[in-house]
């Protein structure tokens, strides 16, 4: 178990290098190796998550340099949960890319896919703020190319905006890290927490400003208001499997806020304890309203799903902004639900688009879709889950967040915003479902395209959709044990003293 934390980083890294070397052998070999690597990562993530439930943190000091002098990886229940969600999402997205042959539309898809997983897993496991920046850059470099995979003018324009915004964010990230290092003399997250707890009063202003800069950077990654405008175009215009994998990308920003701000500016931070929470909660509420309006105003299915991702991020920001154990536990439950649901929705939208011919994802009445009953049922299932209506997992997640908000001074603002936004989402998704599946033409007009009688690779592509959407009923059936696990994860995550003890004395394990 001593090398436990580095395994999820090494596996996709080595798989990516191997895939690069195997490229001359053809796409079929790359597909086989890439999918085996993704499935192996899933099995590893399941094993690691089960191991994490024992409650012991695992710390890995690269080069055997003790903290805070060397690079430290910290494996705990929160990191294990994020690794598991990412691996589940990756298997579904990669399977869909293979069976629909989307991976054949450009070069190095499988290499970039593994590098994306390498960056994501590194970001979840690092215990150092500077190395969080490094892994952010790795996953962003891979995402730039994945976003443009397949080419096209609209995809290139969206990719350019995505690159520019994230380059600005990376620059601000470095400024924030420089300010924190100048004030604290360290970038190890556990050491930063210890230094902030004993911070002289004259340095509080500098550290608070640097913390707000970091919140700005992580908010950009999470697509928080006012830095969310890059998300709808980027997610809507890239290929479906890439968009599905990107469902976890915004959650990396939320994770970074939980990990860095929740640890460094936690309950032991004196005057700086949870200073960021009102900002996070207020901006989360604004983001939710704008996301709901975006879903209502969307004129294409892919854009609507992208705004649904934004709405889910806003709910997470609100829950984390409550700065309570109940709020964090609810956020983690909702994170699992919303991430896998968003991935499944992007894949389902692509299946629908391939069945609509040149109508594509426009909300225009067209001919009846092949397999319309099955696709309509899946769309209704996903829509009900996204809205947070009973009896699906979205209802439990939203209800838990609202219950946690009842103890917060902003409870009426949270309740009103969540309920009003849910009503707007209901109107929008009801309209979308009606146009796609009910307002259909009995016979084509002269100018209508000829629609396919069968959707290519329908059965195989549907397995990827079902793989991800299966989380919706499973989180209901297993609601009680899952809720207990999320409460356990939240309690360990908020245990800053245990986190510091594990990093500085790995023998203790932070139990």
% residues pLDDT > 70 (the chain): 95
Average pLDDT of the segment spanning 24-35: 92
Q: Could you tell me which residue, 413 or 446, shows the higher pLDDT?
A: 413
End-to-end, the C-alpha distance of the chain in Å comes to: 16
Geometric angle at alpha carbon 107, from 105 and 111, rounded to 5°: 120
382-395 pLDDT, tens digit per residue, is 999 999 888 999 99
pTM of the shown model: 0.93
Query: Where does the pLDDT of residue 510 fall: very low under 50, low under 70, confident under 90, or very high at 90 and above?
Result: very low
Q: Cβ(326)–Cβ(408) under 8 Å?
A: no
d(C-alpha 423, C-alpha 293), whole Å? 11
- Per-residue pLDDT, 30: 93
Computed over every residue of the chain, the mean pLDDT equals 89
Please name the residues in contact with 333: beta carbons below 8 A apart, sequence gap of 6 or more.
396, 397, 400, 475, 482, 483, 486
Return the DSSP state at 271.
G
Domain locations along the chain? 4-443+450-500
Say how many CA atoms lie within 13 Å of 203 toward its Cβ: 16
If you count them, how many residues does the chain have?
A: 511
Task: Specify which residues 25 forms β-bridges with.
Answer: none
Provide the token pair at 487.
């409460």
d(C-alpha 275, C-alpha 445), whole Å? 61
% residues pLDDT > 90 (the chain): 59
Q: Cβ(55)–Cβ(508) under 8 Å?
A: no
283-310 pLDDT, tens digit per residue, is 999 999 999 999 999 989 999 999 999 9
Average pLDDT of the segment spanning 135-149: 88
Q: Residue 225: phi, psi to the nearest 5?
A: -55, 135
70-83 pLDDT, tens digit per residue, is 788 999 999 999 99
Residue 160 has pLDDT above 70, yes or no: yes
d(C-alpha 162, C-alpha 149), whole Å? 14
- Per-residue pLDDT, 2: 65
Residue 433 has pLDDT above 80, yes or no: yes
3-state class (DSSP) for residue 322: coil
3-state class (DSSP) for residue 75: strand
d(C-alpha 186, C-alpha 503), whole Å? 14
322-364 pLDDT, tens digit per residue, is 989 999 999 999 999 999 999 999 999 999 888 877 777 787 7
Cis peptide before 68 (omega within 30 of 0): yes
Q: Residue 452: phi, psi to the nearest 5?
A: -70, 140
Task: Report the interhelical angle of 458-469 vs 77-99 (nearest 10°).
Answer: 170
d(C-alpha 83, C-alpha 61), whole Å? 19
Only one residue has tokens 């997610």, namely 235
Q: Residue 186: phi, psi to the nearest 5?
A: -160, 155
d(C-alpha 95, C-alpha 109), whole Å? 13
């Amino acid at each position: 178990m001593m090398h436990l934390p580095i395994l999820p980083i090494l596996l996709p890294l080595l798989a990516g290098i191997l895939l690069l070397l195997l490229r001359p052998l053809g796409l079929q070999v790359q597909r086989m190796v890439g999918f085996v690597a993704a499935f192996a990562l899933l099995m590893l993530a399941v094993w690691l998550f089960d191991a994490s439930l024992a409650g012991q943190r695992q710390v890995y000091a690269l080069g055997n340099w003790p903290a805070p002098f060397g690079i430290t990886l910290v494996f705990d229940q929160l990191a294990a949960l994020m690794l598991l969600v990412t691996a589940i999402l990756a298997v579904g997205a990669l399977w869909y890319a293979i069976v629909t042959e989307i991976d054949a539309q450009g070069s190095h898809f499988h290499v970039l896919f593994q590098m994306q997983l390498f960056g994501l897993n590194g970001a979840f496991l690092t215990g150092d703020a500077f190395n969080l920046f490094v892994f952010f850059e790795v996953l962003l470099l891979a995402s730039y190319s994945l976003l443009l995979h397949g080419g096209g003018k609209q995809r290139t324009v969206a990719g350019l905006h995505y690159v520019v915004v994230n380059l600005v964010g990376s620059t601000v990230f470095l400024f924030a890290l420089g300010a924190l290092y100048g004030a604290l003399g360290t970038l190890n997250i556990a050491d930063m927490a210890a230094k902030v707890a004993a911070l002289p009063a004259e340095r509080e202003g500098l550290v608070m400003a640097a913390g707000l800069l970091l919140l700005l950077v992580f908010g950009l990654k999470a697509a928080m208001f006012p830095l969310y405008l890059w998300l709808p175009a980027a997610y809507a215009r890239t290929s479906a499997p890439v968009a599905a994998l990107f469902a976890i990308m915004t959650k990396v920003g939320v994770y970074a806020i939980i990990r860095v701000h929740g640890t460094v500016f936690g309950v032991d931070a004196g005057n700086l304890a949870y200073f960021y929470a009102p900002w996070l909660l207020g901006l989360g509420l604004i983001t939710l309203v704008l996301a709901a309006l975006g879903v209502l105003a969307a004129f294409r299915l892919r854009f609507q799903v992208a705004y649904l991702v934004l709405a889910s991020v806003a709910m997470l920001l609100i829950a984390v902004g409550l700065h309570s154990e109940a709020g964090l536990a609810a956020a983690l439950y909702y994170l699992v639900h919303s991430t896998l649901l968003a991935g499944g929705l992007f894949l389902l939208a692509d299946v629908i688009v391939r069945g609509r011919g040149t109508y594509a994802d426009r909300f225009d009445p067209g001919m009846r879709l092949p397999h319309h009953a099955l696709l309509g049922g899946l769309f209704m299932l996903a829509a009900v889950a996204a809205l947070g209506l009973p009896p699906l997992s979205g209802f439990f997640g939203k209800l838990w967040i609202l219950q946690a908000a009842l103890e917060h001074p902003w409870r009426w603002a949270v309740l009103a915003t969540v309920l009003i936004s849910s009503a707007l989402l209901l109107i929008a998704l009801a309209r979308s479902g009606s146009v796609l599946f009910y307002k259909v033409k009995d016979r084509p007009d002269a100018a209508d395209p000829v629609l396919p009688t069968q959707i290519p690779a329908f059965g195989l592509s549907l397995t990827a959709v079902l793989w991800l959407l299966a989380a919706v009923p499973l989180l209901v059936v297993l609601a009680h044990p899952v809720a207990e696990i999320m409460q356990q994860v939240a309690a360990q995550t908020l245990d800053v003293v245990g986190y510091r003890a594990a990093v500085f004395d790995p023998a203790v394990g932070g139990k």
